[in-house]
Structure 1
Amino acid sequence: MEENKDNERTEIFSERVRAGKRTYFFDVKATRSNDYYLTITESKRRYKDDGFFYEKHKIFLYKEDFNKFMKAFTETVDHVKEELMPEVDFDAFDEDNEEQDENHKSERVGVTSGNSDLNWD
């Protein structure tokens, strides 16, 4: 009997975003039937008496919800930027982190198998 066969999923693509004390992972995975889905994981390093551990929260996003998710996410971020915090230069955050991002490019994982033309529109 193969170990963990039912729980095994093929990872197709992964992108990591470091954000202060948090790290976000955007992972495209495939089921055994070659159906694609996205997991979004927030990971936070936490300390306890005998060292540290990573607290993780995960969202599974299925292909039939991609467009609805992106629309709601974009509208929400735009509302914060334009209505609640118009005085904040959000592009400055990106510029401040460009050097850090360049240092971590080598850690990204590219498409290894399957369909790389996932369309979110």
Structure 2
Amino acid sequence: MTRALNAQWHNLAFSAFIFREILDNPMEDETPQSRLKQIGMMSILYIMHQGHQALTISNITETTKLTRTGVAETVDPLVKRGLLTETFVKNSMGRGKARQFEIAPEIFEKIRSFQPT
């Protein structure tokens, strides 16, 4: 029972943290629509993260049905905000480079610091 409550608390804390970070800190020339897209994208990425899926452009496009450009337009501001980290890995064919993302570890550290004991 306690474990289930901890998982629910963690999910709620993550959502609330992302919501506040994005809405309270608008970037220059950013529209409200862009901020809402970022909140939605972070929710999807968190679910993918919980499911141990690699956060690559290809996987995100497969999940969201957005174009690669559409994904990049939403993910790039998240990287700029420091909510995601970006690395370049070999693509699935092993020839080129692919962008891979990770939810910034600092987010989980901040959330943990607020967790009730």
- Normalising by structure 1, we get a TM-score of 0.25
Higher strand share: 1
Higher helix share: 2
**Structure index of larger Rg:** 1
Determine which structure has greater relative contact order: mean sequence separation of CA pairs < 8 Å that are 6+ residues apart, divided by chain length: 2
